[in-house]
Amino acid sequence: MKYCAQCGYEVVVKTPPGDHLPRHICEHCGTIHYQNPKLVVGCVPEWQGNVLLCRRAIEPRAGFWTLPAGFMENGETLEQAALREAQEEALAEVELLAPLASVNVPDINQVHFMFRGRLRHEQYGVGAETLEVNLFSEDLIPWKDIAFPSVRYTLECFFADRHRGQYQFHITTWRKSVAV
Amino acid sequence: MKYCAQCGYEVVVKTPPGDHLPRHICEHCGTIHYQNPKLVVGCVPEWQGNVLLCRRAIEPRAGFWTLPAGFMENGETLEQAALREAQEEALAEVELLAPLASVNVPDINQVHFMFRGRLRHEQYGVGAETLEVNLFSEDLIPWKDIAFPSVRYTLECFFADRHRGQYQFHITTWRKSVAV
């Protein structure tokens, strides 16, 4: 950020009085421009024991498999964001059952929030950002070609909970310095 | 937003090709300025069966009681944000035990995320944004003077879970049009 989004003057970086972190500040109009982490929201869509995955058509990680997920929009709830992404990326109608996992990704200022869900009917397709959509049984999940660590973690939690016969909410942190 | 934060030119509002929502776009440098919900993160700090609440010194809701919570910063995890806010608002050292509740507040583009925790020792004080800090037993919680619906919901979940002897993760949505 170089210019004030409110008045167009150049911003400076300094710590406001009473604050503890440097911010982008406009000394012309007084606006403090805070920058905060973004939420990426998605779900594990299950159908008759199988899990729906999408192969990404776009970067980052084009060609790799992911759960339907994306940036939450203003005005949405977490649930609405997860349902919209399933619709957009996999043309799938999902019923959400419960929150499943949250993954901190502080290196890129993101929090990923994933639900457990099920397809409302066996109907899905290829959205604009997707190359291919498929249902996978647990033993055929393409573990080597999973797009993101948070997707891998979410799938691991899902299958571990399913084996145990009890679902719960999980939380973890992924940092670039930590091996996946 | 009126001006491009990257180049200072005036932005326009239109839906980019392939997108489904209008965005602030700079037609000079091509930047699309996305705006996304913010995370407010906090915790329920317990000490020997009592819960620590802070009376707010600042607006919104100055004079009302809240759990220590605030905007998550870039580079933080959810846990780090909750611990920092407990330190800043109540000078309290907290150990987090588990995620407790998430509250969508789509009217103001926020998601509130609350942990269950406990004080590491019976030591706390009044932070810069706080008038007063106190430990409350369940029957003395100032329900009529709670600052925010998400704090009320979190406390209700906490006590209901504690009575049942089993904690879980809760999610709800609060809209202005819905009575508290």
Averaged pLDDT for residues B141-166: 98
Chain-chain contact of A169 with B169 (C-beta, under 8 angstroms): yes
pLDDT of residue B40: 98
Work out whether strand B32-33 and strand B23-25 pair parallel, antiparallel, or are unpaired: antiparallel
Confidence of residue B18 (pLDDT cuts 50, 70, 90): confident
**How deeply is A163 buried, as exposed, middle or buried, from its count of CB atoms within 10 A (0-12, 13-18, 19+)?**
exposed
User: How many residue contacts between A and B have a Cβ separation below 8 Å?
Assistant: 118
* Torsion B92-B86-B125-B180 (CA) sign: negative
pLDDT of residue B180: 47
pLDDT of residue A176: 86
| Closest residue in A to B129 (Cα–Cα) | A18
Q: Which residues of B65-84 are buried (b: 16+ CB within 10 A; e: fewer)?
A: bbbbbbebbeebbbbbbbbb
Residues in chain B: 180
Q: How far is the alpha carbon of B155 from chain A, nearest alpha carbon, in Å?
A: 19
pLDDT of residue B65: 98
d(CA A72, CA A102): 14
Q: How far is the alpha carbon of B124 from chain A, nearest alpha carbon, in Å?
A: 20
Chain-chain contact of B1 with A1 (C-beta, under 8 angstroms): no
**Mean pLDDT per 10-residue section of chain A, whose length is 180 residues:** 94 92 94 96 98 97 98 97 98 98 98 98 95 98 98 98 98 79
Chain-chain contact of A78 with B5 (C-beta, under 8 angstroms): no
d(CA A83, CA B163): 33
Among B86, B92, B41, which Cα is nearest to A37's? B41
Among A172, A154, A129, A127, which Cα is nearest to A67's? A154
Q: Does a cis peptide bond (omega within 30 degrees of 0) precede residue B60?
A: yes
pLDDT of residue A171: 98
Q: Which domains are assigned to chain B?
A: 1-35 (2.20.70.10), 38-173 (3.90.79.10)
Q: What's the pLDDT tens digit per position in B25-53?
A: 999 999 999 999 999 999 999 999 999 99
pLDDT of residue B20: 86
